[in-house]
Amino acid sequence: MSELVSYGDLSEQPSRQITRAALLAKESSELDGYRYRLKAGLLSFMDQCDTEAAYDAANVAGKAELSLLKTLLAEAAGSAAGVELVARWVEQFSNSNHQRYGRRFGG
């Protein structure tokens, strides 16, 4: 037996199709909005993590440089040659830290 559609059913079918299409469009739009908010939240969280990591790295490097400076200056005991040597070592250490920081954080 063939399934023929009566003319009465045809007049209702486009209306149901339009309603269904509108519902699908609304669901798709809501899903797109949800995905956008999720991605924006993730990017924000990643930025916060990067900022905290950059702060921590700079803080640790700065403290290490100051500690090295204090320790070596104490060992130099006021010697002009010792102070010059300390200055070069601390500068080299600082440059090394800056290069590492730049590689890690792109700065």
Could you read off the pLDDT of 38-78 as tens digits, one per residue? 999 999 999 999 999 999 999 999 999 999 999 999 999 98
Q: Are 87 and 51 in contact (CB under 8 A)?
A: no
Residue 4 has pLDDT above 70, yes or no: no
Helix (H, G, I), strand (E, B) or coil at 37: helix
User: What would the pLDDT profile of 16-46 be if each residue is shown by its tens digit?
Assistant: 888 888 899 899 999 999 999 999 999 999 9
Phi, psi of 25 (to 5 degrees): -65, -40
Q: What angle do CA 64, 69, 75 make, to 5 degrees?
A: 125
Say which residue, 3 or 89, is predicted with more confidence: 89
Percent helix, percent strand, percent coil in the chain, to nearest 5: 90, 0, 10
- Please give the Cα distance from 50 to 54 (Å, whole number): 6
pLDDT over threshold 60, residue 11: no
- Write down the pLDDT at residue 40: 97
- pLDDT greater than 70 at residue 6: no
